[in-house]
Amino acid sequence: MAFNNDTLMVGAMSHTSYKNPPYRDNVGATAVLGFNNNEWTPAQSLIPDSATDDARFGFSIAIQDDLAVIGSLENSSAGDYSGAAYVYRNNGVSWEEEVVDPNMPGN
């Protein structure tokens, strides 16, 4: 979970993705909530397209202004249980995943 100004992000590591078939078990998701009119309201759900089964996306979250980095504990897209970090930027309307080189050290 991470909080910055009027944005709250909460990870759900055991979320099963129904975004695109084939469905992916325990891929994880991150809920984005915005603070408006004195209450928190759901704004967006983040699920990376490249995450694998059991990726556990949302394990760790850091947010600063319009930039967020979300960890995927057991993502296997770069090798068994190698993990990954996904970078998102807020364009003023929604959070969009930025392209990050999967071969970069730490990814």
pLDDT value at residue 57: 85
- Look at residue 84 in the predicted model and tell me its pLDDT: 79
Structure tokens at 17: 């993705």
pLDDT under 50: residue ranges of the chain: 107
Residue 104's pLDDT is what? 58
> Residue 96 has what pLDDT?
95
What pLDDT does 14 receive? 73
Q: Looking at residue 12, what is its pLDDT?
A: 83
- In the chain, the percentage of residues whose pLDDT exceeds 90 is 48
